[in-house]
Chains A and B, each alone.
Chain A
Amino acid sequence: MERVGGYAPLRDYAVLGDGRTCALVASDGSIDWLCLPDVDSGAVFGRLLDAERGGSFRLEPTEPFESEHCYRPESNVLETTFRTASGAVRVTDAMTLADRTFRSPLRELVRRVDGLAGTVPMRWVVDARFDYGRRPARVERRGDRYVLLGRRDALAVKAWDAGTPAVVGTTVEGEFAASEGAVATLTLAAAHQEPLVYVRRSDAEQSLERTDRFWRAWAGRATYDGSWRAAVVRSALALKLLVYAPSGAIVAAPTTSLPEEIGGSRNWDYRFAWIRDAAWTLDALLRLGYDEEANAFFWWLMHASRISLPRLNVLYRVDGGTHLGEDDLDGLDGYRGSRPVRVGNGAAGQLQLDIYGAALDGIWRFACERGGLDRHTGRDVARIADWVCAHWRERDNGIWEARSGRAHYTQSKAMCWLALDRAAKLAERGWIPDRRERWTEQASQVQAFYQREGWSEERGSYVRAPDLQELDASLLVLSLFGCEEASSPRVLGTVDAVMRELGTGPFVYRYRGEDGVEGGEGAFLACSFWLVSALARGGRLDEATELMNELVACANDVGLYSEEIDPQTRDFLGNMPQALTHLALVNAATAIGDAESAA
């Protein structure tokens, strides 16, 4: 792997996590991204967004090396193997989970180095820059540990058999020789407005193995046994890392401002929970047998939205907050010069009507699985449906969060139909207050609207909006949610048009038109998986399977996906790992499985 200007390719990263925050580790052993204490907190290691000032935790041979990394089987514990002229070493990385038998640190990163062959000279550098690199650490020695201090945060660095630590400016670093059979251990323990917990070596190593056992057991609970099981289980493991355990929210990605175009300005903060992902999330969790996680996510969905009901916010902070003002971080260069670096997300203030369909479809799936809803939730769901009746005629910003203004997006209207259809179905089962007469009448009206205004005879497909006569890959979801029959001429025509006009190789662009933001972008990976699902549901199983094989092969070496991909170079673009892409992968795999079963 070769860094460009200090930046590793996005495809080169693996993710670690503990259910509160995530770290991104490049295959050269550098931890280039870590926010503490939570996934949406300021970054302590932000080399991903500024190679000079961001900070990192590097651990690598001091001589030329080749490296490769992989997760332990069905685990989120990462192993990186370095090979040099002198020998080989393996670095095992994990963000450990708390052990109830002793006081664990608030957050803990453990790195164990195993000498595999020969003697490899190694070097490690902890360069912590608090608050996205704006606040260099103050380093203090306390006994045999070094503590890096920010304003509210503290990191304790401890190394065993990893050389004598030295303070160089604001970094703590050390060198050692990793001989065959030797083991060195490094830990980073974090505290936030509380005393640091010092860990013992045995505790750290025990925590690492315990964490690995947890992940294997968790992955083993997956009930999916269809094709592409390894990719599906890896997606489930990645999604679990995106769950913010204290609240049950699932962030869209653990990073901010990874660009959709290198050097461009399409750089967004995804460290929030989008209501849009609700239906996909609940479907994936329930289909894979993760009922507890589905239940927790459902509770989060109903609890977070309570403050704005019957209106739903587009996205929420992981702590449930709704104030997500978008700001630029001026001091950072951005990934390979892609500026601005943003924190917060301005889409929070948009009107996006499609989220109502996603939410009610998710609730419908959950209720079917659970055999109903409680009375309070049922009442809230009915209020949401009433709100849709009153507002579906409005223009909105659409699923792609267009900043060029509002429109009557066809996909948004179809999702409003979905919301009302699901509300009527819930009422039919007696799970929510029965106002079916109004809901079905309004559903008919919105369906007639999008089928009339959103259809182009000339193209033989649905189009983005009545006054935006262009293709939009989000229209693929019409058949995935059952808004339209998957084998209907209209859906098949739209699928063909999307492949023709937005497809490039196995990939699909979202759209080609304007969206109010300068610059271009890559192909959208979730749309590519939606195409697989649409083909499978439409009876084109061979095409779906072939496309799925190509897309699964496009994952990086540890099975992860970002938001977008450059169709020519296959470089990853956008934030990663991306929940929506992995959710779409799971949906595509199950759609093919369903189609095979039905055939």
Chain B
Amino acid sequence: MTVWGALAGGLIGTVVLTGGLRVAQELGLTRMDLPLLLGTIFTDDRGRASLIGTALHFLNGLLFALGYAAIFAAVGHTGWWFGLALGVAQAMFAGGVLVTVLLPAIHPRMGSPWSDAEETPLLEAPGFLLHNYGRVTLLVTLVLHLAFGTIVGAFAAGL
């Protein structure tokens, strides 16, 4: 297992994840747009938000890849199948906690079930299991995170 391999996997995995999400959007499967969600923490200009968000998303991808590498090292096993298993855990964390609970809590432009008439949020919260962004958003997210985990695992193991 190499950290550089995991980082390379993280980079490519994020490309696949971001691209897959974009394709899913174009196919009308989901409204989930992670770069926009992340970028609008800092600006309400959609163009700039997408740029900032994309950069942040790739940074997150690399950080997660480092996390994967740490787990590989701690467990003493590396491989695409183990990456896939971690991808399941990451998808559950992202879909169940990160995007649905933590992001609305810190996002200055995102609504929540507690938003009332005093607030004018620009973004709707993803809702329970990302349901507000389309019925199959959770499935799309799961599949793409499985791909991410598999790629990181495979690269970390030297393919």
A18 to B114, CA, bound (A): 10
Query: Complex formed: what's the CA distance from A329 to B118 in Å?
Result: 34
Within the complex, the shortest CB–CB distance from B42 to chain A, in Å, comes to: 15
Distance A308 CA – B29 CA, assembled complex (angstroms): 9
Contact of B124 (CB < 8 Å), options: A20, A309, A320, A323: A320
Given A247-B111, A306-B31, the answer on whether A376 and B124 have CB atoms closer than 8 Å is: no
Determine the distance from Cα of A248 to Cα of B50 in the docked complex, in whole angstroms: 21
Q: How far is the CA of A247 from the CA of B122 in the complex (A)?
A: 7
Interface of B is mostly: loop
**Which chain B residues lie closer than 8 Å to A308 at the CB level?**
28
A247-B124, A307-B31, A320-B31 known; A97-B46 Cβ under 8 A: no
Q: Which residue of B has the minimal Cβ distance to A293?
A: B120
Instruction: Tell yes or no: A341 within 8 A of B by CB.
Output: no
Query: Which parts of B95-122 form the interface with A (CB within 8 Å)?
Result: 111-122
CB pair A17 B47 closer than 8 Å: no
A377 contact set on B, CB distance < 8 A: 46
Q: A247-B111, A374-B45, A374-B46 known; A19 and B118 CB under 8 Å?
A: yes
B18 within 8 A of A: no
Contact (Cβ within 8 A) B123 A245: no
**Which residues 306-320 of A sit at the B interface, judged by CB distance below 8 A?**
306-309, 319-320
Q: Does A292 touch B at the CB level, under 8 Å? A: yes
Partner of B117, one of A214, A303, A321: A214
B82 at the interface (CB under 8 A from A): no
Give every chain A residue within 8 A of B47 (Cβ-Cβ): 374-376
Chain B residue, CB-CB nearest to A306: B31
* Contact B25–A246 (Cβ < 8 Å): no
A321-B120 in contact (CB<8A): no
- Contacting pair B28 A17 (CB below 8 A): no
The answer to whether B125 and A246 have CB atoms under 8 Å apart is yes
Chain A, residues 103-114, CB within 8 Å of chain B (1/0): the string is 000100000000
Query: Taking the nearest CB of chain B, how far is it from the CB of A35, in angstroms?
Result: 14
Taking a contact as CB atoms under 8 Å apart, the answer to whether B122 and A295 are in contact is: yes
In the assembled complex, which residues on chain B have CB atoms less than 8 Å from the CB atom of A245? 111, 115-121
Binds A, one of B5-13, B55-63, B128-136: B128-136
Give Cα A243–Cα B45 distance, bound, in whole angstroms. Answer: 23
Are B30 and A295 closer than 8 Å at their CB atoms?
Answer: no
Q: Output the nearest chain A residue to B122 by Cβ-Cβ distance.
A: A299
Chain B residues, CB < 8 A from A299: 122-123
In this assembly, does A296 line the interface, its C-beta being within 8 Å of a C-beta of chain B? yes
Q: Which residue of B lies closest to A291 (CB)?
A: B120
B113 A37 Cβ-Cβ under 8 A: yes
User: When the two chains form their complex, are residues A319 and B116 in contact, meaning their CB atoms are under 8 A apart?
Assistant: no
Chain A residue numbers with a CB within 8 Å of B134 are 307, 320
Cα distance, A106 to B118, chains bound together (Å): 14
Q: How far is the CA of A247 from the CA of B111 in the complex (A)?
A: 6
Residue in A106, A243, A306, A307 whose beta carbon sits within 8 Å of that of B114 in the complex = A106
CA distance A98 to B125 in the complex (A): 18
Contacts of B28 in A (CB 8 A): 307-309
Whether B31 pairs with A246 at a CB distance below 8 angstroms is: no
Contact A300 B124 (CB under 8 A): yes
| Cβ-based interface call for A592 (8 A) | no
Most-contacted residue by chain A among B29, B30, B116 (CB, 10 A):
B116
Residue contact A376 to B116, C-beta cutoff 8 Å: no
Contacts of A321 in B (CB 8 A): 131-132, 135
Q: What's the Cα separation between A523 and B131 when bound, in Å?
A: 39
**Contact pick for B120, options A20, A292, A307, CB 8 Å:** A292
B127 CB-CB contact with A under 8 Å: yes
- Shortest C-beta distance, A194 to chain B (Å), equals 9
Q: How far is the CA of A255 from the CA of B132 in the complex (A)?
A: 22
- Establish whether residues B124 and A19, one from each chain, have CB atoms under 8 Å apart when the complex forms: no
Complex CA gap A304/B111 in Å reads 14
Interface check A83, CB cutoff 8 A:
no
Please state if A320 and B132 are interface contacts (CB–CB under 8 Å): yes
Which residues of chain A come closer than 8 Å to B29, judged between CB atoms? 307
Q: Quick one: closest A residue to B124, CB to CB?
A: A247
Q: Which residues of B contact A292 (CB under 8 A)?
A: 120
Q: Is A240 at the interface (CB under 8 A from chain B)? A: yes
Q: List 23 A-B contacts (CB under 8 A).
A: A20-B113, A98-B114, A106-B114, A240-B117, A243-B117, A245-B116, A245-B121, A246-B115, A246-B125, A247-B111, A247-B121, A295-B120, A296-B121, A299-B122, A306-B25, A307-B134, A320-B132, A320-B133, A320-B134, A321-B132, A374-B47, A375-B47, A377-B46
The 5 closest A-B pairs by CB, nearest first: A19-B117, A374-B46, A246-B111, A247-B124, A296-B120
Q: Which residues of B are in contact with A by a Cβ distance under 8 Å?
A: 25, 28-31, 33, 44-47, 50, 111-125, 127, 131-135
Known: A247-B121, A299-B123. 13 other contacts (CB 8 A): A98-B114, A246-B113, A247-B124, A248-B124, A300-B124, A304-B31, A306-B25, A307-B134, A320-B132, A321-B131, A321-B135, A375-B47, A377-B46
